[in-house]
Every structure is written in structure tokens, then in C-alpha cells.
Structure 1
Amino acid sequence: MINYNGTILENNKVISTENRGFAYGDALFETIKASHGKILFLEDHYFRLMASMRIMRMEIPMNFTMEYLESQMLLTLEKNNLMQAAARVKFTVFREEGGLYTPSNNNVSFVVAVKPLEDDFYTLSDDFYEVDLFKDYYLSPSLLSTLKTNNKALNVVSSIFAKENKLNNCLILNTNKHVVEALNGNVFLVKGNVIKTPPISDGCLKGIMRKQIIDILSKIPNYEIEEASVSPFEIQKADEIFITNVIVGIQPISKYRKKQFSTGVAKEIIGKLNAKIRLN
């Protein structure tokens, strides 16, 4: 069952061919993890969504408070019997039907969909995980690239490339040939005690988990965190690389081409991440 504008529907086929999210990618979404009725990092997700809606020039309804959005997500979890489990929540906002490229109005509708997850908290996978660069197309280092919109053609094509080449993931480059992110999350490189992640200005997603990891690392005296452009040449020189997103948490990379990586930093901070969740 899904939540369409506050109404629970058993049939999830509510999108018409005139839906602007479907027709033009005129939509934003937040992928959120819930655990036993608790929406993780709710405030960060809420403020990112509000900022993204302003950038997309969508009209923010008066009732779109953080409490209202939380109540709609919890309602959807309850109706799907997921209040006592871990779940993936997808909150999608799209401009209402009307117009071609130029919309008839800036009013929005929303859909909440949920799926069960296995783990309540974040665990570190020991599975082999190989990545490579995707170089067929490049990401623009612009503000729109940092938003979670329905315009994900680059991610789709590069995901197919990864599958065809038996890779677990790909690293995306921007038009300046800097490493920006992975297909499903932000990237962190470890070299000695320096941990580096691409800056938002390079076009990477303004990730919620990225923010949590930067906050955790900034409080560990042994590490120096840098937000700076990453050259592809730095990947093979790194001691460790990991990907972050709110569903998986931290995904260590095992291999890039001929280089194999350690997982020490990822193992150290995964516990601190779970501790942070318990405190909030």
C-alpha cells in the first residue's frame, strides 16, 4: 500500500501519463531509512527536501512541516505492518499535471512508498566489492546535480555498464574529469590519516549519510577530513575507499582495477555511526 497525498491506497498504480515526474523528470525524492517506527536523520532529510523544492521552484504547501511529513511516513509504515521492522521509505514530491516544459502551476503532490529491510542498524559487509570508472558520460558540476531528482539517466546507463562488466558499482566523473560519487552514494578516500571526499561544488549528491560521516570524522583527532576534488589517479594511491548512503550506511570497496584496499577506517566508524543513531 502507498500513501498518495495523505490517502492510503492499495493499488500503487496512481501515476498517469500526464504526471510531470514521469513526463519530464519534474520530481524530487528522499530515500530514508526507518527502524522500528523511527525515521532516521529526519531533520536532515526534511531540510534537504525543502531546499531542493526551492531550487526547483516548487510551491511548498503550508502543511509541509517536518511533523506532517513524519506523520505521513509513519502512517504508511503502519499500514504496511512495518512499524516493528526496518524499512526503506521513498518520499517523492512532483509538480502537479499541466503544461509542457513550462508547468501550468507550481503546486505539488506526494507519494510515500515503503519496503522492508533486513537490518535495523548498520553493518559492514565483508563481501568482495569491485568498482571501476564510468567514462561514457559525465556529470555537470552544477547545483542541479546535487539534487535527488527523477533525472537519473546517467545512473541507469552506468548501472547497466557495471552489470555487463561484472562490477559491483561505478565511480562517476564530472566534466572536469574529477571523481564525483558512486552510482548510489558518496565516496570517501583514505590515505594515511587524511580522509577526502569530493565537494558539493563538484556536483556530488548532498548526501545525508555523507554529512553524518563528515561529522563523525571531524570528532576523531587522528583523522583529517578534506572536502576537495578527487583525481582518478588518487584512487590507486588510496589505502581505503568506501561508499556511503542512508540505506547501507558504509560500503567498503575491495578492488579498483589492480588495486586492493583495506577496511580499517570503515570498521572504526561504523560503530560510531550506530551509536549516533541510538543517541538521537
Structure 2
Amino acid sequence: MINLNGEILKKKDASLSVFNRGFAYGDSVFETIRVINGKIMFWEDHYFRLMSSMRIMRMEIPSSFSPEFLEEEISNLIEANELSNSPARIRFAVYREEGGYYTPATRTIGYTISCSKLENAFYLFNEEPYEIELFKDHYINSGILSTIKSNNRAVNVLGSIFAKENDYHNCLILNEKKSVVEALNGNIFLVKGDTIKTPPLSDGALNGIIRKQLKGIIKKLPEFKLEETSISPFELQKADELFITNIAVGIQPVTKYRKKNFSNKTAGHLLSKLNVKARLG
């Protein structure tokens, strides 16, 4: 079942026009959300990021788009898909209504909500081999547009194809200044001694939900120092640990980059604290 503009429909009956601006111009933003037994994880962060993304894209936010209304829309869809007692993954997409070419005919929006079942309620620690490489064919630009989750993901798609063709599990993306910005599907953290680094949003890093949660966790741990700073590719092989974060997997430790093998002690420690925070809401 799919929620299309507030109406819950069977998948075969939920369709969008070929002139939909999300399809035609990437004029769309989205949120990937994790739900545990009907409870939306980190809902406040998702809601405010969605509102911020819509403002950046100069979309007209409906007066009905309160946190309570959108939460109810998600809950109704989960119930319709009989996932109220299961972990689920939600994709909440907002697109500008069709009309116009590059210049929109309107700023009003439509939305779709879809969901799928997840196997595990909370994040599991993955210790399987996970090798990464740099993706250097294309770059993302530093700046505010790169920080939002829009449909303009060409670099991520091409990087994913590159990774698959070369048997890598993931790749790191660079910006136009040749700084490491993020992974293909999440934020990147680097551990060296007692310092944990992650690229700043000003470098073009995605304003990730788990990134934000981990920053809050790390700042409360006296044994670590957090730095939001540009990361050079030359630092990667000198790191003790690298790990990738996103809402789907939580924390994914990197085991190998080129000739360097990494440990995962810090990643495991932080994942346990992230699960505790997720349980508490």
C-alpha cells in the first residue's frame, strides 16, 4: 500500500504523471525513516530536516504539514501494510506539482509515502569485510544544496555502479576541493587516537540524521574529541578506524581501504550507545 497525497492506495493504483517534476527535473526531496513497532525513530530531526529541505528548494509548505499530521500519515500507512508490530523503512518524498520547465508554474507540492519491512528492530554490528575506494570520476559541490536529500543523486548512482563493477562495498565521494565529503549512502567518520573527525556541512556533507545523533553522543564521551573539519584523502590510510553512518544500518565499519586494514572498536562502542538512544526516542 502507498500513501499518495493522503490517500492510501494499492501499489498498482498509485501512479505519478510522466510530467512529474521530481522525475523531469529532480525537483523533489525525500526522507528515509526507520520505524520500530509503530514508533518513528528520531522523528523530530526528520521532520525539521524535511521542512528545511523544502524551504531550501523554495517549495510551498502546506499549512497542514504539522509534525502530528505527518506522523499520523506515516502511522496510517504502516497500519495499512500490517507493519505496526514490525520494524519498517519509510520513504517520504515531496515533489513540486507539475507545470513549467526549469521555471516552475507553481510552488505547491504533492507527496508520496511508501514503506517496506526491515529484518531487525535495532542496529546490528556488522563485522563482515567491508572494503571501500575513492570515487573520483565526478565530484559534488560544497554548499547548502549538497546537504539536503534531493532526487539529484547522479554522482551517487554512478559511484554505486563503479563500486559494483570493481567489487567494492562502497566508495567515498570528493568535493570540488578534493576533500572527502561522504560515502555513497551515508556520512563518513574517521577515528585517529582519541579524535573523531567528520566533514562539515560547508564541505557539502549530507545533513544526516545519524550523523547528528552521533555528534551528540560523542560530545558527551570524555574519552573522545569530536572535530567537524575537512578530511584529506591522504588521512584515510593513517586512520585507526573509518565508519559510515545512515538511518538504514546505523554504523557500518570499514575494514579495508587500499592497503590499510582498520579496527572497529570505536564503531562498536558508539553503535551500542546509538541503539540505547533509539530505544529511548
- Same fold judged by TM-score > 0.5? yes
State the match for 2:83 in structure 1.
82
Residue 167 (1) aligns with residue 168 (2): yes
- Distance in 1, Cα, partners of 2:96 & 2:258: 42
Q: Deviations over 1:37-79 (max 9, x none)?
A: 0010000000001011111000000000001111111111111
State the match for 1:248 in structure 2.
249
Q: Counterpart amino acid of 2:178?
A: K
Q: Counterpart amino acid of 1:98?
A: G
- Distance in 1, Cα, partners of 2:215 & 2:75: 28
**TM-score scaled by structure 2?**
0.99
State the match for 1:9 in structure 2.
9
- Distance in 1, Cα, partners of 2:278 & 2:187: 19
Q: Deviations over 1:77-108 (max 9, x none)?
A: 11111111111100000000111111111000
Equivalent runs, 1:218-257 vs 2, <5 Å? 218-257=219-258
Q: Deviations over 1:182-219 (max 9, x none)?
A: 00000000000000000000001000000001100000
- Distance in 1, Cα, partners of 2:37 & 2:114: 16
Q: Counterpart amino acid of 1:180?
A: V
Percent pairwise identity: 57
- Distance in 2, Cα, partners of 1:103 & 1:250: 39
Change (3 A) 1:257 1:17: same
Residue 51 (1) aligns with residue 34 (2): no
Residue 109 (1) aligns with residue 110 (2): yes
- Distance in 1, Cα, partners of 2:237 & 2:11: 49
- Distance in 2, Cα, partners of 1:159 & 1:277: 29
- Distance in 1, Cα, partners of 2:216 & 2:120: 23
- Distance in 1, Cα, partners of 2:9 & 2:79: 13
- Distance in 1, Cα, partners of 2:11 & 2:277: 37
CA drift of 1:11 comes to 2.9
Figure out how many residues of one structure are paired with residues of the other and give that number: 280
- Distance in 2, Cα, partners of 1:267 & 1:73: 31
- Distance in 2, Cα, partners of 1:154 & 1:9: 32
State the match for 2:205 in structure 1.
204
Q: Counterpart amino acid of 1:127?
A: E
State the match for 1:185 in structure 2.
186
Q: Counterpart amino acid of 2:232?
A: S
- Distance in 1, Cα, partners of 2:38 & 2:53: 26
Residue 158 (1) aligns with residue 159 (2): yes
Q: Counterpart amino acid of 1:189?
A: L
Residue 65 (1) aligns with residue 69 (2): no
- In structure 2, the gaps of 5 or more residues are none
- The SS at the match of 1:59 is coil
Structure 1 outlier segments of 4+, above 2 Å: none
- Distance in 2, Cα, partners of 1:181 & 1:265: 19
**TM-score scaled by structure 1?**
0.99
- The SS at the match of 1:106 is coil
CA RMSD of aligned residues (A): 0.7
- Distance in 1, Cα, partners of 2:278 & 2:164: 33
- Distance in 2, Cα, partners of 1:91 & 1:180: 25
Equivalent runs, 1:122-161 vs 2, <5 Å? 122-161=123-162
CA drift of 1:131 comes to 0.1
Q: Counterpart amino acid of 1:3?
A: N
Q: Counterpart amino acid of 1:166?
A: D
